[in-house]
Amino acid sequence: MAVRTSEAVWVEKYRPTSLRQMVGQETIIPLLRSYAEKRSMPHLLFAGPPGTGKTTAAIALARDLYGEEWRQNFLELNSSDERGIDTVRTTIKGYARTAPIGDVGFKILLLDEADNLTSEAQASLRRLMERYSGSCRFILSCNYSSRIIEPIQSRCAVFRFRAYSTAAVREQLERIAKAEGKKVDVEAYDAILAAANGDLRRAINLLQLTATHTDHVTAKTVQENATIPLRREVEAMLSAALAGDFLGARERLYALFTDRGAAGEEILKAIHSYLPELPESVLPAREKIRLIEYLAEVDFRLAQGAGDRVQLESVLAHLAAGSPKAK
């Protein structure tokens, strides 16, 4: 039975099936296409923020290399689920040592989110990459290349994916909206772009979410569905804290958690992204410097698993304590 458009996952439905269909990453895609044309490639390391086409590029490269036989010569593992040394010794080793199918002399193994592999697993992996390089090429995809041990990085050609430009994301959203028969206002595109912040996957998912029950997407419907705090909400929260009104700022913070449904990381990123644009009347330059330094510390705590409400309250307390009224 055919899947209705509203039930299809647009990220997968419109995923490029060839490197020729990919947009953005102009410095990377031509090199990957040359690998496909020559039918030869080294081990690869794709590093960059989420939603920038790392996994898509790996799958498109496999399709261009193997054609109809790409599924028999391509294996994708997510290292966040299978991150231990046993996975390297069993699943990865078992796949790497088998012969490829077809006239290409090697298979491809994609390790997605490879920066989640334990140090022991990475140490074991580097030996497999040497031993079975004749029959298998590895593509490691990660958000933070610094978490990949140096011996593995030195065995790979490193490609650093950048966040998509606003023009590239808008072009893809307009193409999808036209194919789905959806009318999208210019202001709605701007709201999606602001929420996605260069993450194409997030932009497409947000477009589909807002277009699920309507054929006309407006900025209001985007803002109702996006969990990214709006600039005016962040300004009001910071203004209250800088005025020494910690309790009022905390109420606005709780509203972001409950009414907006935002996560602590999203609020922190919103504060950071809006900082350069906030006027001096809201946040003086000296306070911006002080806040950025403190945001870096809080971001590290959140990455280590600290509670988001307590950490965000500490940001507001940090500002309120330094306000003139508090002094």
Domain ranges of the chain: 5-160, 166-225, 231-321
Report the Cα–Cα distance between both ends of the chain, in Å, rounded: 68
Q: What pLDDT sits at residue 139?
A: 95
CA distances from 3 to 9, 126, 141, 280 (A): 10, 43, 31, 52
Q: DSSP of 171-212, one letter per residue?
A: HHHHHHHHHHT-EE-HHHHHHHHHHHTT-HHHHHHHHHHHHS
In a 3-state reduction of DSSP, which class is residue 3?
A: coil
Q: Where are the alpha helices (DSSP H) in the chain?
A: 10-13, 29-38, 54-66, 85-87, 93-96, 119-131, 150-153, 166-180, 186-196, 200-211, 219-225, 231-242, 246-255, 264-274, 285-303, 308-321
Q: What pLDDT sits at residue 108?
A: 94
Q: Is the entire prediction scored with pTM above 0.85? A: no
What is the CATH T-level fold of the domain 166-225, as seen in this structure? Answer: Helicase, Ruva Protein; domain 3 (1.10.8)
Contact 36, 64 (CB under 8 A): yes
In a 3-state reduction of DSSP, which class is residue 44?
A: strand
CATH number assigned to the domain covering 231-321: 1.20.272.10
Helix (H) or strand (E) holding 74: strand 74-78
Question: Nearest CA to 97 among 107, 82, 86?
Answer: 107
Contact 138, 43 (CB under 8 A): yes
Contact 106, 136 (CB under 8 A): yes
Q: What pLDDT sits at residue 2?
A: 36
Per-residue pLDDT of the chain (327 residues; tens, 9 = 90+): 333 445 678 988 899 899 998 888 889 999 999 999 999 999 999 999 988 999 999 999 999 999 998 999 999 888 665 555 666 777 888 888 888 888 898 999 999 888 888 888 888 888 888 888 889 999 999 988 888 999 999 999 999 999 888 999 999 999 999 999 999 999 999 888 888 888 899 899 999 988 887 889 988 888 777 766 777 788 888 888 888 889 999 999 988 888 777 788 888 888 887 777 777 876 788 878 888 888 999 999 988 888 888 999 998 898 888 765 555
Q: What pLDDT sits at residue 85?
A: 64
Q: What pLDDT sits at residue 214?
A: 83
Contact 288, 278 (CB under 8 A): yes
Q: May I ask the CATH architecture of the domain 5-160?
A: 3-Layer(aba) Sandwich (3.40)
